[in-house]
Amino acid sequence: MEGSGRAGLPLQDAAHGEVSGCPRRFGHPGNEGPEVPGLLSRANRVRRRPDLRLALAMTALLCGTSHADLPLETIGSVEKLASPPSPHWVFASDAVNERLTLIDLDTGRMLGILDGGFGVTTGAYPKARNEIYVASTHYSRGSRGERTDVVTIYDATTLAPVDEVVIPAKRAINPLSVGNMALSDDDRFLAIFNMTPATSLSIVDLEKRSFAGEIAIPGCSLAYPAGPRRFASLCSNGAMLLTTVDENGRELSKIRSQPFFDPLKDPVTEKAVRYGDVWIFVSFEGWVHPVDLSGDAPVFRERWSLMTDADRRNRWRVGGYQHLAVHQATGRLYALVHQGPPDSHKQGGSEMWIYDLADGRREQRIGLHNPGFTYLGVPLEFGKDWIWPFNGLYGFILDYLVPDLGIGQIAVTQDDEPLVVTGSNFTGMLAIYDGLTGEFRGRVVTGNMTTLLIQAPWGGVSQ
């Protein structure tokens, strides 16, 4: 967790024992300085300007007094987060700094940071334990050397690492928002997706805090939670594989389904969202494929379309690195869409379309705001405190005068007053909307350089 800094405090001059920003005493031996043509020497200026000498003396006195009165700081103290955590706390993943940053959407404060090692960072959040799990990769020489993969266990209150489990050094490293890691519904086992390019799952027993074993999933990829001891994977022929583990985390059974989509004609994206026991996959052409995993075998419900014929003629498509979110209590599906050619499924959205999952009806279309600009994590913003109408200049420039950043990430909090959070690959700032009305609520600064994933894990099923 980030400790408190010393910003705003004067720094001690190591060479002279003085506080920087406070003038040195004129007339000190060797400190008179050279004569400059047309100017008085420092000594002469002091002698001829008694008022200046008095002012300098008062300044030195004040600097010394303020330094003496500064309270002593305690080093090594660890703050604790409120418990239970707020549903309006979200984690934002930064691909450049390789970390997860915790943000309070209500206050705009950054609450803490989780290190992600090498690669894009995602977290898993159990319901029964006050812990956070992060799979990460580390090299003995920073960017090279011996590779070690671990699952780090963090205390969810202090964000301090409390333990780790070493796993095979083969976990997949990619910018996917979902599927690289899955927590079983009973919080017992964690599955980490491996790709070497052979595909498999590393299973970690979270109660014993030990590596349970590796399970091959040939022809299939990724891991989605699908029950107390079961994980689902997408297969290259359009099928789904269900892998069940026993009490020790070893392979108990595998069930491979028939294909439920055509991977050549209209493949689904792997960026699915979960609604109860149903995983919702969306194809490149906007067809929704609901997959019910409540039984022993997957049940593929009737597909339906996000797009009307008119939408398709106008080239509306889903797109982004995390383009779906669902609110569990209301059954509302949020989708990022843009106008673009075929195979533009990585392009960020310009609008957010909201659907009722009960009947597939589109309820709202909301134009999206740019989340804001950052440089090295610092927001490039101005005008908030200016008088009207100039206080709105920053938002006007973002939305109308600068190129569209493209909204690539979306998440929704799981409470009765949900907030929708959006981000872009090219900035560390986030935009906030009312999850029920779609009203734009403002922007928050995360301190990140980029945004590749947003997770709202508390108060319901994590995204």
* pLDDT score for 460: 52
Of residues 78 and 424, which shows the higher confidence score? 424
CA-closest candidate to residue 313, choices 339, 287, 335, 275: 339
Kindly indicate whether the domain formed by 89-117+310-463 is annotated with CATH number 2.40.50.140: no
Q: Which of 71-75, 112-116, 146-150, 372-376 has the highest mean predicted lDDT (pLDDT)?
A: 146-150
Instruction: Compute the average pLDDT of residues 324-330.
Output: 98
Q: Report d(CA 44, CA 29) in Å as an integer.
A: 14
Compute CA distances 206 → 133, 211, 245, whole Å.
Answer: 9, 9, 14
- Give long-range contacts, CB 8 A cutoff, 24+ apart: 311-316: 311/286, 312/285, 312/286, 314/339, 315/339, 315/340, 315/341, 316/286
Lowest mean pLDDT among 125-134, 276-285, 302-311, 454-463: 454-463
Give the count of alpha carbons within 13 A of 96, CB side only. 13
Instruction: Compute the average pLDDT of residues 402-422.
Output: 91
Whether the predicted pLDDT of 27 surpasses 80: no
pTM for the structure as a whole: 0.81
* pLDDT score for 130: 94
Lowest mean pLDDT among 61-65, 236-240, 376-380, 414-418: 61-65
Positions of CATH 2.130.10.10 in the chain? 89-117+310-463, 122-305
Whether the predicted pLDDT of 368 surpasses 90: yes
Q: pLDDT tens-digit profile of 435-450?
A: 999 999 999 989 888 8
Q: Is the peptide bond before 389 cis (omega within 30 degrees of 0)?
A: yes
* pLDDT score for 12: 36
Whether the predicted pLDDT of 267 surpasses 70: yes
Q: Which run of H or of E encompasses 352? A: strand 351-356
* pLDDT score for 57: 54
Q: pLDDT tens-digit profile of 95-106?
A: 888 899 999 999
Whether the predicted pLDDT of 329 surpasses 80: yes
Q: Is the peptide bond before 225 cis (omega within 30 degrees of 0)?
A: no
CA-closest candidate to residue 317, choices 369, 282, 265: 282
Pick the CATH number of 122-305 from 3.40.50.2300, 2.130.10.10, 3.30.70.270, 1.10.3080.10: 2.130.10.10
Instruction: Compute the average pLDDT of residues 228-246.
Output: 98
